[in-house]
């Protein structure tokens, strides 16, 4: 036994390098670990070339080293063919650990190692898109080890089993998972009983039955989504890397000339059409829960889950706006009032994939920033159930 749990497609990942439309060598703070820095400093021939592209930063009273990005926020080692000069001159082993690992993610729970891949890489999203059914995880671990894992690990197991349940819609599964986490937060001493309840199909159906009777105001839900979207992209829409993806849709969301009723109708139609990507979105959510949603602190688990769901909400709303913009170009010759009406219901896959990648980078890799934003915006960073219901509707 290797005592590992791996995403089923983990070993299938291959970087597509110069064919990648979203290189990971841009727009990040790329950490240079001390081992790699040592190797670079002691390289007789290229020490200067390596080290002039490294900067230091103080973080939590510790000095950390990063690649000094060029004015276009790209890695200075990336050549014009989209290939890495460090790999070309010295091989993979000269890369920093962060570069070598991405998009691979590893978690350790005592003797158990877990391996997953990040949706911040478009090649990973392509693999997930081509999965038939629900993403699976390959267990190669001793039963005793699995049985003795910490309670928070078991909570995550129930989160995953709810999300993998084929008998509920994606919306219901998100609500059920969030509801379970809130219940554990409220009664931490009852965590084992709560976990058991949320494994019962009958109990889950009784909850979704109650929620289906709650009338959500579509307009409130739409406005809330729009506000969240505008707040989140505020700092990114002008950045070079994301400008082409975010500026146009932000302008559209803020356009005061748009007929609100028409916009709302289009949004409601779009949500039904977006069901064609429900399996993809669901598998991305499951992958992110597996990689990120486990902590001894239930508040941390809730916040990590909120981050994952915020990414989903932003992807859905951004794809909606983008598809309206694309339609606008098709209908340029038509009268003003019909310009932003969607005329077909085919949502291109590449648009959906690009926004999954973008939000995985700007939200998923900036979880601390988004938590601060919630702390500033609400009384408590953990959402109320009603807010989730409104956003996810």
**Candidate segments 17-25, 194-202, 282-290, 320-328, binder of ligand SF4 by CB under 6 A:** 17-25
Pairwise CA distance, residues 392 & 372, whole Å: 21
Q: How far is the CB of 119 from ligand SF4 (least distance, A)?
A: 10
What separation in angstroms does the CA of 287 have from each of 8, 252, 290? 11, 31, 5
Q: How far is the CB of 88 from ligand SF4 (least distance, A)?
A: 14
Query: Which residue of 3, 15, 223, 299 would you call a contact of ligand SF4, by CB under 6 A?
Result: 15
Q: How far is the CB of 118 from ligand SF4 (least distance, A)?
A: 9
Binding mask 20-39 for ligand SF4 (x = CB under 6 A): x-xxx---------------
Nearer to ligand SF4, 102 or 222 (CB): 102
| Residue (of 384, 385, 369, 363) closest to 307 by Cα position | 363
What separation in angstroms does the CA of 233 have from each of 60, 125, 259? 27, 22, 23
Q: How far is the CB of 218 from ligand SF4 (least distance, A)?
A: 37
Q: How far is the CB of 301 from ligand SF4 (least distance, A)?
A: 28
16 binds ligand SF4 (CB under 6 A): yes
Cα angle, residue 385 at apex, residues 380 and 390 outer, rounded to 5°: 105
| Residue (of 319, 289, 317) closest to 392 by Cα position | 317
What is the total count of residues that contact ligand SF4 (CB under 6 A)?
Answer: 12
Nearer to ligand SF4, 67 or 301 (CB): 67
8 Å CB contact between 385 and 182: yes
Nearer to ligand SF4, 74 or 248 (CB): 74
Q: How far is the CB of 135 from ligand SF4 (least distance, A)?
A: 18
**Candidate segments 19-27, 86-94, 299-307, 371-379, binder of ligand SF4 by CB under 6 A:** 19-27
290 binds ligand SF4 (CB under 6 A): no
123 binds ligand SF4 (CB under 6 A): yes
356 binds ligand SF4 (CB under 6 A): no
**Candidate segments 18-26, 161-169, 220-228, 318-326, binder of ligand SF4 by CB under 6 A:** 18-26
Nearer to ligand SF4, 158 or 358 (CB): 358
Pairwise CA distance, residues 60 & 371, whole Å: 18
Pairwise CA distance, residues 175 & 60, whole Å: 36
Binding mask 76-115 for ligand SF4 (x = CB under 6 A): --------------------------xx------------
Output the CA torsion sign for 233, 107, 167, 184: negative
**Candidate segments 116-124, 260-268, 306-314, 342-350, binder of ligand SF4 by CB under 6 A:** 116-124
End-to-end CA distance of the chain: 44
Pairwise CA distance, residues 103 & 105, whole Å: 6
121 binds ligand SF4 (CB under 6 A): yes
Q: How far is the CB of 14 from ligand SF4 (least distance, A)?
A: 8
Contacts 24+ apart (CB under 8 A), 208-212: 208/168, 208/172, 208/175, 208/176, 211/172, 211/175, 211/389
Q: How far is the CB of 311 from ligand SF4 (least distance, A)?
A: 17
Interface with ligand SF4 by CB under 6 A: which residues? 15-17, 20, 22-24, 102-103, 121-123
């Amino acid at each position: 036994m290797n005592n590992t749990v791996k995403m089923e497609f983990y070993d299938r990942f291959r970087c597509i390098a110069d064919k990648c439309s979203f290189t990971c060598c841009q727009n990040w703070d790329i950490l240079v670990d001390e081992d790699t820095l040592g190797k670079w400093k002691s390289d007789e021939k290229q020490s200067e070339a390596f080290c002039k592209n490294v900067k230091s930063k103080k973080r939590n009273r510790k000095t950390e080293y990063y690649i000094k990005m060029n004015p276009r926020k790209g890695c200075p080692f990336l050549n014009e063919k989209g290939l890495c000069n460090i790999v070309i001159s010295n091989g993979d082993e000269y890369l920093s650990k962060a570069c070598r690992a991405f998009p691979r993610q590893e978690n350790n729970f005592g003797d158990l190692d877990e391996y997953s891949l990040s949706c911040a890489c478009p090649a990973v999203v392509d693999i997930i898109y081509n999965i038939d059914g629900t993403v699976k995880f390959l267990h190669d671990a001793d039963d005793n080890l699995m049985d003795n894992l910490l309670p928070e690990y078991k909570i995550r197991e129930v989160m995953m089993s709810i999300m993998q349940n084929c008998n509920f819609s994606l919306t219901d599964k998100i609500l059920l998972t969030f509801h379970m986490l809130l219940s554990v937060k409220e009664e931490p001493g009852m965590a084992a009983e709560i976990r058991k309840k949320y494994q019962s199909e009958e109990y889950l159906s009784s909850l979704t039955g109650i929620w289906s009777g709650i009338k959500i105001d579509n307009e409130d839900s739409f406005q809330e989504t729009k506000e969240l979207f505008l707040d989140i992209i505020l700092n990114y829409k002008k950045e070079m890397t994301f400008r082409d993806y975010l500026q146009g849709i932000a302008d559209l969301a803020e356009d005061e000339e748009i007929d609100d009723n028409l916009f709302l109708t289009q949004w409601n139609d779009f949500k039904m059409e977006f069901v064609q990507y429900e399996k993809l979105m669901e598998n991305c959510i499951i992958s992110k829960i597996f990689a990120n949603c486990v902590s001894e602190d239930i508040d941390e688990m809730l916040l990590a889950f909120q981050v994952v769901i915020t990414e989903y909400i932003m992807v859905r709303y951004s794809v909606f706006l983008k598809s309206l913009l694309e339609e606008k170009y098709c209908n340029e010759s038509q009268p003003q009032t019909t310009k932003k009406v969607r005329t077909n219901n085919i949502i291109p896959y590449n648009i959906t994939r690009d926004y999954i990648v973008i939000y995985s980078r700007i939200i998923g890799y900036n979880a601390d920033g988004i938590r601060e934003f919630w702390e500033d915006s609400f009384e408590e960073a953990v959402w109320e159930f009603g807010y989730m219901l409104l956003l996810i509707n």
